[in-house]
Amino acid sequence: MNTLITSAMFKGKYLKNIPPDFQWQKTPLQTYPLSFLRNHFILPLPVIQTSYNFLFYIKEGSFVNRINNNLYHCGPGSLVFVSAGTINALQKTSDDLKGYFVLIEEKIMTVLFNQSELLNVFMIDPVLKLKEVESEWMYTICKLLFTELNSKLPNIQISSSLTQALLSKIIQLSEKQRTITRSQQIAINFKKLVHQHYIKEKKLSFYTDSLAVSANYLNRCVKMVFHKSCKEIIAEVSVLNSQILLLDKTKTIAEISFQLNFDDPSYFTRIFKNFTGMTPTEYRIKNMHDLS
């Protein structure tokens, strides 16, 4: 399913009243002050998947961001990393929001950094809370990165080095990365596999075979880390992706159900309601109203 939102699509569809003389950066790395963006977001955003990785660094103020099926209330000294393809939706921001938004295209992410390390850090908890001295460090790096990328002739080597330093610092500061257990790693790997194969592979046996573990052990690992069963995770990922498809009014509920490899649209509807409290039709109507 080609549902990924590019940076150009996002700027054109989900931002408003951008000054005509504003110069968007044209590099695969981009950085913008949150104090500028907060005035132009069309909120609340619908659930989307971006083709790029991005992080929010909050120096002052706060925002509420939905990542997958959870809401995160992020305040000063918070750093939020969202990898490409992750389902997310910015819900609201405070009027005093300050910090930086850093966009990293996939084509450069693999060159800059080992992305699996970041995924391990943020798969369990996508928000990293910084101490004051750590927050000031992040602010300094982000400010330098913005200054370089916003110059007339940005130096990609300098901006890449600054971004590598930023990502390396995130890994260093994350206690979760240093103390990750085998059970946590198995749960993380399971969730990665589900996001890759949720359409065709809805049976637990595929994942136990792929990870070479028993069903009981995999369920114990997943429940310990994500507080849900493997079956619930598989269904939840399908429902999250269906919410994006429901924004396309040309598709019927049955068509979306079959696209997600559900044999029975009524079964898909029951699962959807279990996770969202609404039927797919009710969800579609609500979101169309929110976007109008």
> What is the band of 2 on the pLDDT scale with cuts at 50, 70, 90?
low
Task: Supply the pLDDT for residue 36.
Answer: 96
pLDDT of residue 292: 57
Q: Would the pLDDT of 228 be above 70?
A: yes
Structural domains of the chain, count = 2
The backbone torsions φ and ψ at residue 103, rounded to the nearest 5 degrees and listed phi first, read -110, 130
Cβ-based burial of 70 (10 A; exposed 0-12, middle 13-18, buried ≥19): exposed
| 18 plus 150 within the same structural domain | yes
233 vs 182: CA distance, rounded Å: 19
What pLDDT was estimated at residue 268? 95
**With bands split at pLDDT 50, 70 and 90, how would you rate the model's confidence at 120?**
confident
pLDDT band at 181 (very low <50, low <70, confident <90, very high): confident
Do 195 and 78 belong to one domain? no
Instruction: Tell me which residue range forms the domain holding 268.
Output: 182-291
Question: 80 and 42: one domain?
Answer: yes
Kindly report the average pLDDT of the chain as a whole number: 91
CATH number of the structural domain spanning residue 208: 1.10.10.60
Please compute the mean of the pLDDT values over residues 21-30 and round it to a whole number. Answer: 92
My answer on whether 227 and 147 are in the same domain is no
pLDDT recorded at residue 241: 92
Do 34 and 150 fall within a single domain?
Answer: yes
* Residue 112: predicted pLDDT: 78
Q: Is a pLDDT exceeding 70 seen at residue 83?
A: yes
Residues 208 and 82 reside in one and the same domain: no
Backbone angles phi, psi at 83, to 5 degrees: -80, 160
128 and 155 part of one domain:
yes
Q: Are residues 287 and 150 part of one domain?
A: no
Task: Give pLDDT, residue 55.
Answer: 95
* Of the residues 155, 175, 195, the one at which a domain ends: 175
Give the residue from 146, 175, 204 where a domain finishes: 175
When pLDDT is averaged across residues 88-111 and rounded to a whole number, the result is: 93
169 in the same domain as 199: no
What confidence score (pLDDT) does residue 208 get? Answer: 97
How far is the CA of 75 from the CAs of 6, 56, 83, 109, in angstroms? 27, 11, 20, 26
Whether residues 144 and 266 fall in one domain: no
pLDDT value at residue 176: 57
Q: Identify whether residues 16 and 145 lie together within a single domain.
A: yes
Per-residue confidence at 116, pLDDT binned at 50, 70, 90?
Answer: confident
Burial (CB count <10 Å: 0-12, 13-18, 19+), residue 209:
exposed
pLDDT at 177 over 80: no
Residues 200 and 146 in one domain: no
Q: Residue 288 pLDDT > 80, yes or no?
A: no
Tell me which of 143, 175, 207 is where a domain ends.
175
